[in-house]
Structure 1
Amino acid sequence: MSDTVKILLVEDDKIVASIVKKYLDLRGYLVHHAGDGVSGLKEFEKYKFDLLILDVMMPHKDGYNLAEEIRQRDQYVPILFMSSNNMPKDKIKAFQTGADDYIAKPVDMEELELRIKVILKRQNSEPKVDFDREEDPQEIHIGQYTLDFPYQKLSRGDDTRKLTTREAELLRFLYRKRNGLIKREYILQEVWGDDDYYKGRSLDVFMSRLRKYLKDDPSIEILNVHGIGFKFLVAEPSK
């Protein structure tokens, strides 16, 4: 692996951090280590990294909160969670906060490197979404709502809600495919990058959030087509 690959490792366990850093350094990676979420965010803002490895349980700022803050700043940098919390709910929460992968502790170093290689290969081979295409205006009118995509704001009259990056991406994608059946796998591939099981569970959570955000406009409806996908219905204004 080229030594140009820079990794930010945020891990409060000094022994685990030392083992991971030493192994990856020997494999040709450049690893910066931060001992907690607060210092991890400072490192992220100071340098450009190709991939982040985050522990979950840390002092001052846990991995979930750190990932959410990072996703507000950068929606593309790969995030790999490394945690001893291995219940399904923990993995689901990780993907909801923007993770690309999740590996359980104690970590096998060869598996960790393989996961890093897969993430980086996928990252380098997937084109970024072009958010400035002519058919994608910065402000999208959805029924009584307006989605300001660059600023991730959803407004209805004087009521404005700040969306997460993933919420804004999903809402915009659904609007593009409005009034037709959209398969779950297609949504996951286009918005999340793959159709992993845990990301599928995360999709259901995000759909529930969007229903809540849009509930005051009766012309908008998100239908769950069991076993297939969703329909994002927006009634056309009467002429």
Structure 2
Amino acid sequence: MTADQPHLLVVDDDARLRALLQRYLAEQGFRVTAAPDAGSARAALASVAFDLIVLDVMMPGESGLELTESLRRDGQDVPILMLTAAGAPDDRIAGFEHGADDYLAKPFDPRELALRIRTILRRAAPALPQSALAAPPVQLGAHWFDSERGELRNAEGSVRLTGGEAALLAALARRAGDVLSREEIAIALSMPDAGERAIDVQVTRLRRKIEPDPREPRFLQTIRHRGYVLRPGQ
């Protein structure tokens, strides 16, 4: 185990599944810390900067949804992949609404879990320095978005984005002025099975961070029956 291996926090109240995930993910080259509930997860998060959380939704006491919402409210942008036995579309939407980056229904193939973890980590990783030909930052009113770094800033400093929010804004910024369908956005986010409502939820969350009035968006606009378009401007 080396310090440059991504460090995962696996939170699940099922001791058998927790142990299986810890062993399998370690075999896949990750450092893994396991926690049986939200309280133990909070204690771990207080002392370690994890690269990603694999989080069960249905736990006794504080649920995974409640923990995710609390972490996002406190400004923690660590990527979160939710696991749950409830795989209906509404359950998936609830995960995204509470701030999850991805969602995997139980039972699942552990190979798919590892693939999704790597996809999220690639999406969240800071970009390498770019050449002088790199795309300039995009202005969104009082905000500037650097699509190469996935960083949103304003006069007060950096604005926290989840990995999903940063990937969504980067996908739109790379094609600013073009209408992207929900299907194109899902593919750009490496979430081809996310569904239209899940994309809409991610857009709603992003608007809260870039729009002066999210109910009347100036920059991230809906094009009826077609998708979304980012229109930079002052």
Range of TM-score over shorter length: 0.5 to 0.7
Residue 181 of structure 1, aligned match among 179, 182, 187: 179
CA contact (8 A) 2:139 2:232 kept: no
Q: Residue 55 of structure 2 corresponds to which residue in structure 1? A: 54
Unaligned runs of 5+ in 2: none
Q: Residue 104 of structure 2 corresponds to which residue in structure 1? A: 102
Q: Deviations over 1:148-167 (max 9, x none)?
A: 66875667xx9x99664344
Q: Residue 205 of structure 1 corresponds to which residue in structure 2? A: 201
Q: Residue 88 of structure 1 corresponds to which residue in structure 2? A: 89
Q: Residue 195 of structure 1 corresponds to which residue in structure 2? A: 192
Alpha carbons of 1:233 and 1:92: their partners in 2 closer, same or farther (altered >3 Å)?
same
CA contact (8 A) 2:25 2:114 kept: no
How far residue 214 of structure 1 moved from its aligned partner, in angstroms, is 4.2
Mapping 1:109-188, distance limit 5 Å: 111-120=108-117, 122=119, 128=125, 130=127, 133=130, 135=134, 140-142=138-140, 144-147=141-144, 152=152, 164-165=161-162, 166-188=164-186
Q: Which shows bigger deviation, 171-180 or 206-215?
A: 206-215
How far residue 44 of structure 1 moved from its aligned partner, in angstroms, is 4.0
- Number of residue equivalences: 213
Q: What amino acid is aligned across from residue 36 of structure 1 in structure 2?
A: D
Q: 1:168, 1:25 → 2: CA distance? A: 28
Q: 1:232, 1:36 → 2: CA distance? A: 40
How far residue 38 of structure 1 moved from its aligned partner, in angstroms, is 3.0
TM-score (norm 2): 0.64
Q: Is 1:74 equivalent to 2:78 in the alignment? A: yes
How far residue 52 of structure 1 moved from its aligned partner, in angstroms, is 3.5
Q: Is 1:23 equivalent to 2:20 in the alignment? A: yes
Alpha carbons of 1:154 and 1:201: their partners in 2 closer, same or farther (altered >3 Å)?
farther
How far residue 40 of structure 1 moved from its aligned partner, in angstroms, is 0.8
Q: Deviations over 1:200-221 (max 9, x none)?
A: 3222123345556344888646
How far residue 222 of structure 1 moved from its aligned partner, in angstroms, is 0.7
**Alignment identity in percent?**
23
Q: 1:164, 1:50 → 2: CA distance? A: 15
Q: 1:103, 1:7 → 2: CA distance? A: 19
Give the structure with higher Rg (CA).
1
Q: Which shows bigger deviation, 127-136 or 49-58?
A: 127-136
Q: 1:32, 1:218 → 2: CA distance? A: 41
How far residue 39 of structure 1 moved from its aligned partner, in angstroms, is 1.9
TM-score (norm 1): 0.63
Q: 2:219, 2:122 → 1: CA distance? A: 36
